[in-house]
Each structure stands twice: as C-alpha cells, then as structure tokens.
C-alpha cells in the first residue's frame, strides 16, 4: 500500500503538483482494492488477496488467501457477515478445526485460519494472524464483497 501511495505522490509531483491532497490520497487508497467503498471486507479471487476496509479505505491488507478449488468455488458477490465462531469445527469435514470463522453465506462459506498452500472447499483461508484480525474487526451485518 505504501509503495502505491509513494508511486502516486511521485507521479503527482512529476506532473507539477506540490502536494497530495487528502481527497487524492483517499481515492488512491480505495483504488488499491477491487471492491466498492461499502465493503468491510474485500476478497480478490484473481489475486488471492483480502483486505479489511473502513469507510472505503484500506484498514488492513492486502493479505494472502486461498479460496475454493474447481467445483467448490468461493462464490462471487456481495454478502453480509451472518455469524462468527472463534473455535468452530466443521460439521461437514470430519470435525476439522476452522479457527476464527466468520461466516458470510448461508451455505457455510467463511473466512477462517487455514492452509495458504492448498485450495479450500469454498472457504477463504487466511494465516493465523490475518484470521484473528478479520475475526476481531468484522461484525455481524457488515458487507463482504468477493470479486473474480
């Protein structure tokens, strides 16, 4: 993110502008994600990255993710956080641990701690630290946007 902002400042300075205004800085920051300004969480399946957003600005990220494998794709769209469970265990996958689960679809798709090497069965896997951060900062009802 800082690299992007520094590059933008360099471009503006080269164009003859003396300073980066707050409005331009905010536009540069929200332009760093592919999601709309109402999203509290943004997921890019193409780049395999996720962000936490606040007021249209990046609050955390990008952080690496893994998403659903072919045939068990992570759904694209705008969703709401439905519920959270810090110590969730899967009822479908043999009681597998899903720490820091933040569910955002009625079919059981969630952010949670998981492998960043292997694709998931549709959930969004995050590192331990990222999963804890998403869990702590997302609330029931907030918007989650998933884009290709």
- pTM score of the predicted model: 0.78
Encode pLDDT of 53-108 as tens digits: 999 999 999 999 999 999 999 999 999 999 999 999 988 877 889 999 999 999 99
Sign of the CA dihedral running 12, 18, 20, 24: negative
Domains and CATH numbers, the chain: 1-32 (no CATH), 36-147 (2.40.440.10)
DSSP letter string over 66-120? B-BPTTSPPPPEEEE--EEEEEEE-TTTTT-EEEEEEE-STT--EEEE--SSS-B
pLDDT in tens, 104-138: 999 999 999 999 999 999 999 999 999 999 999 99
């Amino acid at each position: 993110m800082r690299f992007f902002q520094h590059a933008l400042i360099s471009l503006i300075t080269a164009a003859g502008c003396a300073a980066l205004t707050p409005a331009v800085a905010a536009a540069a920051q929200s332009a760093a994600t592919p999601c709309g300004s109402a999203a509290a969480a943004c997921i890019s399946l193409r780049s395999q990255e996720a962000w936490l957003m606040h007021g249209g600005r990046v609050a955390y990220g990008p952080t690496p993710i893994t998403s659903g494998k072919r045939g068990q794709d992570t759904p694209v769209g705008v969703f709401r956080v439905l519920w959270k469970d810090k110590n969730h265990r899967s009822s479908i996958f043999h009681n597998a641990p899903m720490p820091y689960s933040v569910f955002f679809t009625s079919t059981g798709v969630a952010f949670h701690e998981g492998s960043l090497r292997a694709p998931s069965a549709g959930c969004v896997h995050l590192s331990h630290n990222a999963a804890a951060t998403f869990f702590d900062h997302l609330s029931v009802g907030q918007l989650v946007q998933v884009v290709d």
